[in-house]
């Protein structure tokens, strides 16, 4: 919250906060009302994404010597945070 307030103060612009939660977290507080301070975040739950499915899809592309898009490469870094049966 302090970081967001600092950004707003420095740039006088609206701030959007998105928090990415690992698959261990199913629900978290997304709104804080502290009187004159109100703080609202957007929660993105990795538990909604099947990490095993994404892993297998990307592994098949790599095994087939297909080039991964920038988005797919980035997705590789998030697989350990997603739900799945494979060990992290």
Per-residue pLDDT tens over the stretch 23-53: 999 999 999 999 998 999 999 999 999 999 9
List pLDDT tens digits, range 46-79: 999 999 999 999 999 999 999 999 999 999 999 9
Instruction: Answer whether 46's CB lies under 8 Å from 81's CB.
Output: yes
Domain positions in the chain are: 2-47, 49-81
Residues found in the chain: 88
- The pLDDT assigned to 85 comes to 85
- The pLDDT assigned to 87 comes to 58
Instruction: Answer whether 41's CB lies under 8 Å from 33's CB.
Output: no
pTM here? 0.74
- Return d(Cα 6, Cα 76) in angstroms, integer: 32
């Amino acid at each position: 919250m302090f970081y967001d307030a600092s950004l707003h103060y420095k740039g006088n612009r609206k701030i959007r906060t998105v928090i990415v939660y690992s698959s261990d977290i199913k629900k978290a507080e997304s709104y804080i009302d502290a009187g004159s301070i109100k703080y609202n975040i957007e929660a993105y739950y990795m538990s909604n994404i099947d990490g095993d499915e994404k892993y297998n899809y990307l592994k098949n592309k790599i095994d087939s010597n297909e080039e991964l898009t920038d988005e797919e490469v980035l997705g590789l870094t998030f697989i350990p945070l997603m739900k799945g049966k494979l060990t992290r």
